[in-house]
Every structure is written in C-alpha cells, then in structure tokens.
A and B are shown apart, each in its own frame.
Chain A
Amino acid sequence: MNLQFIVDAIGTGALYSLMTLGLALVFSVMGLMNFAYGQLVMIGGFSIILLRSQPWWLLILGTILIVVFVSLLMERLAFRPVRNATAMTMLVTSFALAQFLQQLARVAFGANPKPLEQFSELSVQYEVAGLIISRQVILTLVTTTLVLIGLALLLRKTNIGIQLRASTEDVGMAALVGIKSNRVIAAAFVISGTIAAIVAILFFATRTNVSWSSGESIVLIAFVGAVIGGLGSMVGAALGGFLMGFVYTMLNALLPMELRVFADAFLYTLVIVVLLIRPGGLIAAKGVRV
C-alpha cells in the first residue's frame, strides 16, 4: 500500500476532528446539538471571500470575529429563549436556525456557488522521505492538536473552564455557587464559533467555491463523529471526528474501483457497528470531560 494514503487520511482526519470538537463543546455544555454549526463554517467561507484581499492575519482575525459574532447572536436570539425547553425543542430550533441561515446566505450571495480564489499560500507542498504533505495538512494537524490541548487547558486550568464543566454537570448548583450560566454558555459559543472559523479557513483552503449549502455535509460528519466519540467527551469527539475522516479516506484508498463510490455506505455501516458494540461511543461520558 502506498504510504501516501495514510498521510492523506491523517490530513482529512485532523480536519474532521477539529470540526467535531466545535460541535461537541456546545453539546457538552448545554446539551444542545447545534445543527446550525455547519452554517457557521459556511458563513466563515463567505467571510473569507469578503476578506480575500486583506493581509493574511486580518483575513484570519476578521473571519474569526465574524463567525464568533454570528455564533453569539445565535445563542442570544435563538438558543437562550429555549434553554430550559426540552432537548427536542432545542434540536428543532437548531434545525430551523440552520435553514434560516442557509436561506439568508442564498438571498445575500445568490443560489450559485461563489468562486473562492484559492490560497496559494496554503497549497505549498513539501516532500519528506518520499511522502508529500501540503502546508494545509500540516497547519490542520498543528491547529487541531493545539485546539485540543488548548481546550483541555481551558477546561482544566481556567476559571471559566471549571465553571463550564460545573455548569455541565449541575446547572442549578452552578447557579447556587454564583456561576453566571449566561456568561458560561456564551463563552462556549465563542469557543465553538472560533473553531468553526478556523475550520472554515482550513476547509475552504482546499475548495474552489463557497455556497449557501456548504455547511450541510460538515455538520453531518461532526455530528456522527461526536456520537461515535462518546457525546460530551472532548478527547472522544476529537477521536471520533478523526476516525470519520481517516476511515473514509482509507476506504477511498483501499476499496477496489467498483466499490469505491460506496465508501460512504461502508463508513456509515462501520459507524453502526461501532455503536452496536459501544452504544455510549468510544469514550463514553455523561458530561464534559477532557
């Protein structure tokens, strides 16, 4: 087998891993599976188009600011009013929000995909011991690792992180010790939005266009990744997302040509098998863990 396939699979896995972390974090804090998370990535894509002519640091910063702003707006206007409602209500709210943002993007940017001028800076490729690795893949690996470590440190070492974990376990008791849940949940949306913006930059670096429907497949991957990782566990989410990308790419690499187009079907069959064996996911957790 060509070892290059493993490099490819690691690259995809790292990106999916990052996607999954952003979704899993909000889930673990407020029990909300935010299906509008994919639309945050989509909005990140359009931000990149808008900021394309700016210096790279401004492009990254601007994209993060825009996506975080929308993420906070989401929390304030859509999710806060239903925070104490049933999980089903929150889920429906997130679906409705996803639809709303898609339609908004369609009105604002048109139904056709918008061309995205490529980032030649990220497509530079290096050859190491016969293996080719692009700057985008290196950056994705580094970022995902840093985000995972960063999240672990944040949740372990900072007050807001400890408060986040306390709120996850017992929101009523958290209020009794003086934790402001609004602030803590908003913080989770800031972090989730930041991750979505970074995902947008890394994801769209390999794409040639952004469309109003761009976020759909992303949220599906992240959702399944979070579920097989074990909902609520950050390491589990990172692992689950990574496996989604890694296995999918390896299936594409190793299946004979006639079966290759069914890689999706094989992947989701494996997902079902994993969930049958470990219904709680690979790393089962009942609240946020690191």
Chain B
Amino acid sequence: MSLLELSGVRICYGNAVAVKALDLHVDEGEFVALIGHNGVGKSSTVKAIAGVVKPTSGSIKFEGNDILGQQAGAILRRGIAVVPEGRRIFTRLTVGENLTVGGTVRSDRGEVKKSSAEMMERFPVLGKYADRMAGLLSGGEQQQLAIARALMSKPRLLLLDEPSLGLAPQIVEQVFDLLEELRKQGSSILLVEQNAAQAIRAADRYYLMRTGGVIESEAAGGDQAKADQVESAYLHFGKA
C-alpha cells in the first residue's frame, strides 16, 4: 500500500480544467518529484492533496484512508505537512513563534518546545535568529524556516511546492541538500518543482506533468548527465 495515492484526480476552477485525470503515488520513505511547466496543474495538485481545493472527481488516499474533501487542518493532523509556494512564513512572528505555530496540531506543548529546540539545532541559522521577526530573514533562511515549520507537525509526508523559486543557485543547492538529508532520515517527500534537473537528480522517482497527462519515470539518482539529459528533453517538448 502506498503512503499517498491519487487516482483519476480531476480539478476544475469553474469551467476551466486545471488537472484532467492524475494518477500518482508516493511510497513510505520515498522522495518523489512532480515536475512540469508553469500552469500544467502542479500547484493545483498540491492544493488538492493539502485540502485547500476540492477535486471534482477522483480519489486521494493517505495510508489507505480517503482524504479527499477533508479540511486542511484535518489532513495536516493525518500527517501531511505543506511547505507552500512562496514559503508564506509569518513575517511578523519571530522565528521561534513560526516554529511554535508549526506545532499547532500536536497536543503536547512540552514536546512542541522540544521539537522547536531540535529544529534550531538542525537549522543553526534559525537558532541564531530565534527571537528575530521572520520577515527579516533572507530568502534561503526563510525557506529553511518554512521547511522547519512544516516538520514541526511531525509529518508522515512532506509536501513542497516550488521550494527553489526565487532563490540564488547556491541557496537552491542548500535546499536540495536539506531534502536529501531528510530523505536519508526516512522522511517521505513529494516535491513539486520547475527546476527539473535538480529535482530529478535528487528524487527517487519523478512524474513529468503535462497538460495531457503524466509520464512516470525512474529518477537519475545523483547522475548529473542523466538528469541534464532528461531536462533538455523535457524542455524540448515543453517548448513544442
């Protein structure tokens, strides 16, 4: 049984179809990338899984339970945490408070505090600026905070929407290093990215999303040449 399983998911906004019929799965401990151009429905897919938009038809199962149509809070409680596009950290909360808020769904406040301390250890920059307004952090630091905030809920699956968007190349590198590390620690990850080459290289598997549908493939698993090859192919037909 897959951890997350989407089948025949169709998402419409009024009369406009954003996603036609999407099948996708993420297994326990797997790092899966969902790549594709702007506007092919990647973000809609993330929103559907997170419970922000409701698909018109199809099914979304998490650990075998149907979660389609549930509220965002309920889905989070089941174990899916989101790092949204644009990070959306709470800029007027301190770094520490952002972490605390990330642990909202956990009942034991003591444990939340402990996790918060762990996060600050794992992400030293967050520890350093714990009492600073989060809006004052740099883009990369904010991305770390967004990921740490999502991790605060102890998720079974981490959903990341375009985490490299708007970041300098070396910062993007750091973000991918971090994801790799998370996977090594056993986290299940679904990454949505336009930055195809890096995503393919890092992920166990990837889905290439097009307006027509999805092509599934094994990922490069660190092989730079193969990743570049896929990307150029992807860019090629993407431009067609």
Hey, which bits of chain A sit against chain B, CB under 8 A? 159, 162-163, 165-166, 169-170, 172-180, 286-289
Contacts and interface: CB of A to CB of B under 8 A. Distances in A.
Nearest to A289: B92
B112 to A, nearest CB: 9
Contact of B76 (A162, A172, A178): A178
Interface residues of B, number: 23
A289 B91 CA distance: 12
B109 interface: yes
Contact of B93 (A159, A162, A175): A162
Interface stretch (B8-16, B24-32, B98-106): B98-106
Interface stretch (B82-90, B163-171, B222-230): B82-90
B52 interface: yes
Contacts of A175: 52, 71-73
Contacts of A162: 93, 97, 100-101
B145 to A, nearest CB: 12
A41 to B, nearest CB: 30
Interface of B: 50, 52, 71-73, 76-77, 82, 84, 88, 90-93, 97, 100-102, 104-105, 109, 149, 153
Contacts, number: 62
A163 B90 contact: no
Contacts of B104: 159, 163, 177-179
Contacts of A178: 72-73, 76-77, 104-105, 153
B103 to A, nearest CB: 8
Contacts of A163: 101, 104
B52 A177 contact: no
B73 A169 contact: no
Given A165-B92, A176-B88, A287-B92, 12 more contacts: A159-B109, A162-B93, A162-B100, A165-B93, A172-B88, A176-B50, A176-B82, A178-B76, A178-B105, A179-B104, A286-B92, A288-B92
Contacts of B52: 172, 175-176
Contacts of A179: 73, 101, 104
A58 to B, nearest CB: 34
B80 to A, nearest CB: 10
Nearest to B98: A166
Contacts of B149: 177
Given A163-B101, A163-B104, A173-B84, A180 B93 contact: no
